[in-house]
Amino acid sequence: MTFAFPGEMSLDYLPCRYGRSNLLMRGPRRDLSAPYAAVLGGGETYGKFVARPFPALAEAALGAPVVNLGVLNSGPDAWSQDPALIDIAARARVTVVQVTGAQNLTNRFYAVHPRRNDRFLRASPLLASIFREVDFTEFHFTRHLLQSLHQTSPQKFALLADELRAAWVARMRALLPRLGRKVVLLWMADHAPDATGDAPADEPMLVNRPMIEALRPAVADVVEVVYSPEARAQGLDGMVYPALAEAAARAMPGPVQHAEVAEALRPVLRAAF
């Protein structure tokens, strides 16, 4: 059953900060004095519109704290600039890092907000010279920007896609060694990395198999979760969202997808305790 409410907030995510972090994470706050696992990610890890996201499900199965370090609208740029978040991840027995899209990174073509990485700030002179026909003042979010540029010229967009992919790999290579001795990369999507195309459509946007393989030497394991047809068929069932947020809810994994991710992570988490 889907739960839609007209109010501004449907779920109490108990947002909290750890230490001097500038980033709001999902609560309740976990005790970091005992051995714990950590999960670093974006809105999917945070569990937007879901009462029990996969870190909470994994914690119940593990019997040890699993700290949800998912931050809405974030990516490697926001994570790498937050020393408190890096410290929590580095002290975990195992740190799971969700693969997020390549669009939310400052790069040679445009800049994003340092904490809300989905916010487009400005185009560089280089991007403006390539897309002279585009008025960049019309854009506020990276997804809208990329989709519009691809529609304007797929050929020109290919230059931007190459830059974003290279920036994503470079940023992740710099980040992963800072996150502790055992880091697990998590792919969670309705398709495998091999099926990612050049158009800015699927999430994680523009991330493909070669990019994942480029990071494999830097991690202890890679866990790939492709949601089952049964999970995808659930649609909005079990999700809790304000009435005006239906489109946003459709872009997020539901309870069954979260359960599949938790189940896939169970062996690697247990091996660390």
- Strands in the chain per DSSP E: 3-5, 37-41, 66-70, 94-98, 110-112, 120-123, 183-189, 221-226, 240-242
For the chain, 273 residues long, give each residue's pLDDT as a single digit of tens. 444 443 444 799 999 999 999 999 999 999 999 999 999 999 999 999 999 999 999 999 999 999 999 999 999 999 999 999 999 999 999 999 999 999 999 999 999 999 999 999 999 999 999 999 999 999 999 999 999 999 999 999 999 999 999 999 999 999 999 999 899 999 999 999 997 778 888 899 999 999 999 999 999 999 999 999 999 999 999 999 998 999 999 999 999 999 999 999 999 999 999
User: Which of left, alpha, beta for 206 (phi over 0: left; psi -120 to 50: alpha)?
Assistant: left
Residue type, 223: V
Query: Tokens 């800049």 identify what position?
Result: 111
Cβ proximity of 183 and 220 under 8 Å: yes
Listed in sequence order, the residues at least 6 apart from 49 whose beta carbon sits closer than 8 Å to its beta carbon are 10, 11, 239, 240, 241, 245, 248, 249, 252, 254
Whole-angstrom distance, CA of residue 21 vs CA of residue 214: 29
Element (H, E) at 155: helix 154-175
Q: Is the pTM of this model over 0.85?
A: yes
Domains in the chain with CATH codes: 3-106+167-270 (3.40.50.1110)
* Apex 98 CA angle, 93 and 104, nearest 5: 135
